[in-house]
Structure 1
Amino acid sequence: MDFIIRLTDRISDFNGCVEMIQLTDRFDKKDTKLEEMLIVENRLVEGSFKMSVQELFATIQDATVGDDHIPTPLLPTNCLKHVWVNRVGNVHRVYVEVPKKRWDITYHNQAFKDVGFPRMIFRYMIKNQSVELETIVAVKDQVLIKEDTPIFHFPFSHVSTEGYVCMGGNKFPDVKAIQQLGTFHTVFLSSPFQDDYGAKTTTGKQIREIFTSLKGNDFNDEWLLKKNKTFNEL
């Protein structure tokens, strides 16, 4: 079904009505009765009516909204947000929450068992199958993460105050599905910590001292250093 819209360049038309003619599909003029009806470009006029310009624009807008949906890929456990950066280039940004927990880590060549880490958010960039860890931030435990939830600096080394992540010589494997990101934080946490970018807490303590004090203890959220940003700004 097609329509013909007649709109002049008179300013008054924009405050009044436009004429619209609704056309049927083409026909072969075999029916005498049809020949008596108004014909435009060998097509019958099925209806003629008027509407305001505002109603016309609303009708056109509604007509362009189809039933097609763009689903997200299957997402990893604890995924907070998925963003299509470039659908044509298959580029995604994925935000994954890592619960507050104790981890076994290595600092230089020394093993530290059962070290308390805060609740964290890992932000990944995926380009086709390649994965980059863009930044890590901390959030306080037992807080529902919303757009206005405050975020804090990652308290340990390997992440700068600007959020840049140092992976050293480590690299994430390529992924076939975004779901795989659910365990990628273990790659970062199992990498030996050095002194790059230092500690970022309210205690003012150095990395070794902090790791030592956290062995066998949960991370104290009061040590988190504010970034003066919210999750929506991450």
Structure 2
Amino acid sequence: MKWCLEITDVPQNTDFPILGYQIMDNGVRRGPFYFRVEDLITALSSEPDFIGEAEEELDKHSTPTLPLGTIRYSANPLKTKHRVTMAIDKKMWEIRYEGDDEFYCIGFPRLIVQYLVEQSLGQYRVTEMRLFAVRDDNKPINDETQLYRFPFPNVNKESGIVCWGQNPRLEIKSLVELERAFYWFVSAPFNEDWGVRTTLGIPRFKTLIQRIKEQPFNDEWLIPANRNFADLF
């Protein structure tokens, strides 16, 4: 086995700027893993007796394998609580409205989604999911990036916390499965809980659907959340 480490001048995750992959002897590639600079220095300067010990040291300091789209990750020292923050590109999604059989295709803005996950006995449980919008300006997300309120229902417009209703807390086998969590959110029927917030001034989501369906989301509809990306941490 060997390690492949990548360092870019503009890392997606500034807390863990070094990207690493394990290349197994049979060619299988594991990762990505994320490292802090100081962790890599510690691992390489520990003067292990065998190369295997260096690999174990890297494993100890690396992040778990993270889902695609992760832009920031942190955990408590015991790695029993994880915070995974991801960016989701602007996209058209098919949704349902509660009580309707019809599917509606509506545009969603570029999004920031943050998960708080607790780990116990090999299982991960999503204890909180937060959603905010950002402008689709082709710029990387940084601490100064302005956040906007999630425009559609089922999300608290102040805290950004997703309301799952009667659904149980999500349980996953690895953090990589967080790639699917937003799909689970979108596939659940929308209603009027927590309302809508757009500059269009339409108070009911069912009415808003008829106004905006079959077209990309216009960033001019976004309402500022009066906070920046750094305020999520």
TM-score above 0.5? yes
- Which residue does 1:196 correspond to in 2? 193
CA distance in 1, matches of 2:231, 2:129: 14
1:78-107 CA distance string (max 9 Å, x none): 1111111x2326100001112111111111
- Which residue does 1:44 correspond to in 2? none
Amino acid at match of 1:190: S
Percent identity at matched positions? 34
Amino acid at match of 1:120: L
Map residues 139-154 of structure 1 onto 2, 5 A cutoff: 139-141=134-136, 142-154=138-150
Is 1:131 the counterpart of 2:121? The answer is no
Contact in 2 for aligned 1:112/1:212 (Cα 8 Å): no
Map residues 7-86 of structure 1 onto 2, 5 A cutoff: 66-67=42-43, 70-84=61-75, 86=76
1:1-20 CA distance string (max 9 Å, x none): xxxxxxxxxxxxxxxxxxxx
CA distance in 1, matches of 2:168, 2:109: 23
Contact in 2 for aligned 1:82/1:95 (Cα 8 Å): yes
Contact in 1 for aligned 2:95/2:189 (Cα 8 Å): yes
Is 1:180 the counterpart of 2:177? The answer is yes
SS of structure 1 residue aligned to 2:114: strand
CA distance in 1, matches of 2:94, 2:167: 18
TM-score (norm 2): 0.68
Q: 1:66 to 1:80 in 2, by over 3 A?
A: closer
- Which residue does 1:97 correspond to in 2? 87
Give the alignment partner of residue 226 of structure 1, picking from 224, 227, 232: 224
- Which residue does 2:96 correspond to in 1? 106
Which aligned segments of 4 or more residues in structure 1 are displaced greater than 6 angstroms?
Answer: none
Instruction: Count residues in correspondence.
Output: 170
CA distance in 1, matches of 2:170, 2:179: 13
1:13-35 CA distance string (max 9 Å, x none): xxxxxxxxxxxxxxxxxxxxxxx
CA distance in 2, matches of 1:123, 1:192: 21
Amino acid at match of 1:220: N
CA distance in 2, matches of 1:216, 1:81: 32
CA distance in 2, matches of 1:131, 1:164: 12
Amino acid at match of 1:109: G
Amino acid at match of 1:149: T
Contact in 1 for aligned 2:104/2:209 (Cα 8 Å): no
- Which residue does 1:171 correspond to in 2? 168
Q: Which entry has the higher C-alpha Rg, 1 or 2?
A: 1
CA distance in 2, matches of 1:77, 1:66: 27
CA distance in 1, matches of 2:134, 2:173: 29
Contact in 1 for aligned 2:127/2:170 (Cα 8 Å): no
The offset of 1:170, in angstroms, is 2.1
Gaps of 5+ in 2: 1-40, 44-56
CA distance in 2, matches of 1:154, 1:134: 13
1:130-156 CA distance string (max 9 Å, x none): 113331000111232111110100001
CA distance in 1, matches of 2:71, 2:149: 18
Gaps of 5+ in 1: 1-64
SS of structure 2 residue aligned to 1:174: strand
TM-score (norm 1): 0.68
1:51-87 CA distance string (max 9 Å, x none): xxxxxxxxxxxxxx84355211111011111111x23
